[in-house]
Chain A
Amino acid sequence: MKAKVLLSLILLCGSLAAPVARAGDAAAPAAPAACELPSYLLTSESQLPKVADAIKAGKPLEILVIGSRSTTIPSSEGSSYPARMEAILKEKLPASEVVHVSVEIQSKKTAEETASIFVKLMEAKTPTLVIWQTGTVDAIRSIDPDEFRSAVTDGVVALQKAGADVVLMNLQYSPRTETMISAPPYLDNMRVVAQEHDIPLFDRFAIMRQWNEQGQFDLFSPSRGPELAKQVHDCLGRALAQFVIDAAHLEPAQQQN
């Protein structure tokens, strides 16, 4: 009896909140229908002040993506999400704005191992914005979530000290390996770190799950060709560009469309 009441309460809350979440379903204007996402997945309460300043001042926008193997598509680099993001940003920002995206792949490295090279890396390149995508390797190796959290914290602090804005990006949604890789502790901890340091978190996991659930992409597909990967990365690149523009609070006037 009690359970019933509780259940209906929960469901009621669910149905009340659902419309709110859906309310602002506006995706990037020219994006393919497949990329559509509810707006709450594309916005953040945290900001990117340095990106905003750079664009206001007309300085070049240097973006560094620090990632792992899922940052790229084997044998088609040009279609990976960093490249797609660069293209979309160039489209959306004023023509005078120089946008340059570089990628640093740390294949099979945990967050801790990756963070250990940040100081050197930031001396070599001086990006305005670092997008740090991490968590998968840690989840695969079931690194202690607390250790993972402190490694991410250290990494974020190092990047910020070097003078960059930071965006964290979490794991891919991978339904096939869901029974084998436990993602939730790593997703939760990344969210905690993002919140503690007031930096935007690009929720790649929720976004891809949304696409899978809505049927835009079949992420269960065993297809061996690169087509699906290319489409997903295209949408991720678009979403990421939109996310950066939103978090930097770039006025419509500063966007071309």
Chain B
Amino acid sequence: MVRPLCEFGSGPVHSSRRRDLRKGFWPPMTIADQVTGSTIAGTAKPVDSASVDSKPAGARPRARAPAITLPAIGERELRLDLFRGLALWLIFIDHLPPSLLTWFTIRNYGFSDATEIFIFISGYTAAFVYGRAMLESGVVIATARILRRVWQIYVAHVFLFTIFLAEISYVATSFENPLYTEEMGIMDFLKQPDVTIVQALLLRFRPVNMDVLPLYIVLMLALPLILWSMKWRPDVTLGLSVVLYAVTWEYDLYLSAYPNGFWAFNPFAWQLLFVFGAWCALGGARRMSRILASPVTMWIAIAYLVAAFYVTLTWYVPQLSQFMPKRIEQWMYPIDKTDLDVLRFTHFLALAALTVRFLPRDWPGLKSRWLRPLILCGQHSLEIFCLGVFLAFAGHFILAEVSGGAAMHALISLSGVLIMWGVAWVISWYKRVADKSGAKTKNAVGNADLAGGG
């Protein structure tokens, strides 16, 4: 009853799954997927933004440093905020039970999804902000600020875990349908709080939907090293990152999780996207601008996206899969999300290349009132991300305890998005007020957190 809306699409999905399950792990439907919303057309805009404003950072030493002026209001790279905001909304929608809205998420149209966008933009903004800090104030100061940020993310993660505990404990005591005695085994971990809570604090025990922040924490911890190395040789750093990625695939590096298994997002693989984002921010994108502007790149990207879309279509319309050569299928599947499959990475690159090409940095629409809510959310990504996870828990709870139904579902999705917007507005109001009463000069530095945010 909860998901009448999705009935529409559910026919084909079922039938397709039956047949095509060989491909099993389509873009894995695991936790990971739920975690990441996705933006429809939008992936990484950011790439070329770099071309404009990030020259100075790592590669160019101090002489140029002033070129990275403090982010005065109109100067912010709004495309980053826009797409990060969109990713956040879609993450929220993806965390709710499937409905018609779920079809708006990008993972239904290709290999990559919002995780890629999120991690890339995070790498980009983090490098942009803290890279500048490293140039202006030195390695120690920049590292200290990064560590403070890591601490904030860690606290946010623990906060979410607490909410999860509250929800699961409530369900455990109030829900005794004999049909589901077995599923209630999920509560067993409550019997060993001494172990599980400690494991959660160590980031090894992560309940469903709570995988992104730990990944982000690990990546941010590595950021001082990445930036320091980028300052020295950006290209070599990127090369090392690729090597680590390759080694991860070759020798199967991973971080283990509790009670078993491993991290749903392998940091050794996903660092590639993060470092690539940082590399773009620190001048890489500018150097790539010739390639990005070339029509050849454009057509390759388009061809790849179309092919990926077709492959995705075969997951939902199994009749099409007979046109898929078996050899290609064998080579292609499974498309591994945990280790950031190359197909996903390239899909993201293709999307990014097209976005950068067709959505210019100075597109007037970026200033429009209609996109304002998205941009506002994207500017406070850590807070809004956590809020989205919480709202999804709450929405689920309401659907379960009060009533399901399409109307309720729509109402919950809509109010969730409105709440995210409202809170983002309040946060920025706080910052404005704080700026007014505090030292204006510090403002620029303070903003770093905001931009480097989650």
Contacts and interface: CB of A to CB of B under 8 A. Distances in A.
A108 to B, nearest CB: 7
A145 to B, nearest CB: 7
B310 to A, nearest CB: 11
B11 A21 contact: yes
Contacts of A220: 1-2, 399-400, 404
Nearest to B39: A3
Nearest to A70: B182
A141 B259 contact: yes
Given A13-B316, A144-B260, A212 B180 contact: no
A246 to B, nearest CB: 14
B181 A69 contact: yes
A174 B3 contact: no
A179 B208 contact: yes
Given A141-B260, A191-B21, A17 B11 contact: yes
B104 to A, nearest CB: 7
A213 B259 contact: no
Which size class do A's interface residues fall under? Answer: 35 or more
B294 interface: no
A180 B180 CA distance: 13
A179 B22 contact: no
B30 A184 contact: yes
A177 B168 CA distance: 9
Interface in A7-25: 7, 9-11, 13-15, 17-22
Contacts of A228: 177-179
A226 B180 CA distance: 11
Given A108-B185, A180-B186, A222 B175 contact: yes
Interface in A115-149: 136-137, 140-145, 149
B182 A69 contact: yes
A74 B171 contact: no
Which of the listed residues B24, B168, B179 has the most CB atoms from chain A within 10 Å of its own CB? B179
A142 B1 CA distance: 27
Given A179-B208, A195-B22, A11 B9 contact: yes
Interface residues of B, number: 67
Contacts of A218: 1
Q: Which of A17, A21, A141, A224 has the most CB of B within 10 A?
A: A17
Contact of B11 (A14, A136, A137, A232): A14
Contacts of B260: 141-144
Interface in B2-60: 2-4, 7-12, 14-15, 17-18, 21-22, 24-26, 28-31, 34, 40-41
A113 B13 CA distance: 32
Contact of A136 (B171, B182, B188): B182
Contacts, number: 193
B313 interface: yes
A239 interface: no
B12 A185 contact: no
Interface string B149-189: 00000000000000000011001001111111111111010
Contacts of B183: 70, 136, 140, 172, 174, 176-177, 181
Interface string A41-61: 100000000000000000000
Contacts of A224: 176-178
Interface string A168-188: 000010111111111011001
B110 to A, nearest CB: 9
Given A179-B393, A180-B168, A21 B181 contact: no
B120 interface: no
Interface string B86-109: 000000000101000001100011
A23 to B, nearest CB: 10
B316 A206 contact: no
Contacts of A69: 181-182, 185
B262 interface: yes
Contacts of A145: 25, 30
A216 to B, nearest CB: 10
B186 A185 contact: no
B1 A21 contact: no
Contact of A6 (B109, B177, B393): B109
A73 B9 contact: no
A182 B177 contact: no
A13 B316 CA distance: 8
Contacts of A195: 21-22
B24 A181 contact: no
Contacts of B175: 176, 222
Given A11-B8, A140-B186, A17 B15 contact: yes
Top 9 nearest A-B pairs by Cβ distance? Answer: A191-B21, A18-B11, A3-B40, A184-B29, A17-B12, A21-B11, A192-B24, A69-B182, A229-B179
Given A14-B316, A182-B208, 5 more contacts: A3-B41, A3-B104, A20-B15, A69-B185, A184-B29
Interface of A: 1-3, 6-7, 9-11, 13-15, 17-22, 40-41, 68-70, 73-74, 108, 136-137, 140-145, 149, 172, 174-182, 184-185, 188-189, 191-192, 194-196, 203, 206, 212-213, 215, 218-226, 228-229, 232
27 contacts: A1-B41, A6-B40, A7-B40, A13-B316, A18-B12, A21-B11, A21-B14, A68-B182, A69-B185, A70-B182, A70-B183, A108-B185, A136-B183, A136-B185, A172-B180, A176-B183, A177-B171, A179-B167, A179-B209, A182-B30, A182-B208, A185-B29, A191-B21, A192-B24, A212-B1, A220-B400, A226-B178
